[in-house]
Amino acid sequence: MDVDIKMAKASELTEDQSKAQLEELQKKYSTLIVTFNNQQTELAGCQAKCSKLEAENKDLQSQLSGDKPKGDDAKVVEDLRLEIKALEASNMALQKKVNKLQVEHVSEEEVDQLFYALEKKEEQLAAAQSEKEKLSTELNSARGNPQTTFIEIHHHNDISDNSDDDDDHGKGAAAPVS
């Protein structure tokens, strides 16, 4: 499992980006914990099996007057030792990833700070939009043009029999008036 985490500064994130990043980190952290726990269980099972086989091996050795284990028993014990070493190495790698995620994940306090910063930015935006609307209204009033009015003009008085002009009859055009 490859974990690639890129953290951005809180001031550079939007609310949605912050939420998405937090959810992504929580998913990865949960996956690592589940994998870690599964490997711990598997490791414990292998260690129990290895202990059992080593005890059987010791009993067989004592029965054979100190001879070394022969054949399949020795191979099984060696295979289990190798499997245990591989699981321990994998377990250590997962533990490092879990530790890294614990260090890098966004704390609840940081999320609260991000939401607070977002609320302040939204308030500033609302104030700026209100000020813009007010200034726009003042500008139009100062120009003597509180709003643009459109007057629709219809051409109905051309009654010629020219068929080429039929396309233009009855059509209106809108012209802005200041």
> Which tokens in the block code for residue 168?
């233009």
CA distance 124 to 135: 16
82 assigned to some structural domain: yes
62 assigned to some structural domain: yes
127 assigned to some structural domain: no
93 assigned to some structural domain: yes
33 assigned to some structural domain: yes
Locate tokens 């949960």: which residue? Answer: 30
Q: What is the pTM of this model?
A: 0.33
Minimal CA–CA distance to 25: which of 103, 115, 119?
Answer: 103
146 assigned to some structural domain: no
169 assigned to some structural domain: no
User: The dihedral of CA 108, 109, 110, 114: what is its sign?
Assistant: positive
The whole-number pLDDT of residue 94 equals 87
Task: Give the gyration radius of the chain's Cα atoms.
Answer: 39
The whole-number pLDDT of residue 3 equals 44
User: What's the structural domain count of the chain?
Assistant: 1
167 assigned to some structural domain: no
CA distance 130 to 33: 49
Q: Structural domain of residue 23, as residue ranges?
A: 10-106
Q: What is the pLDDT along the chain (178 residues), one digit of tens a residue?
A: 444 545 667 777 788 888 888 898 899 998 988 999 899 898 888 888 888 888 888 777 777 755 555 567 778 888 888 888 888 888 888 888 888 777 777 677 777 788 888 888 889 888 888 888 888 888 878 777 655 556 677 666 656 565 555 555 455 555 555 4
Residue by residue, DSSP assigns 99-134 as HHHHHHSPPHHHHHHHHHHHHHHHHHHHHHHHHHHH
Minimal CA–CA distance to 8: which of 122, 92, 106?
Answer: 106
The whole-number pLDDT of residue 51 equals 86
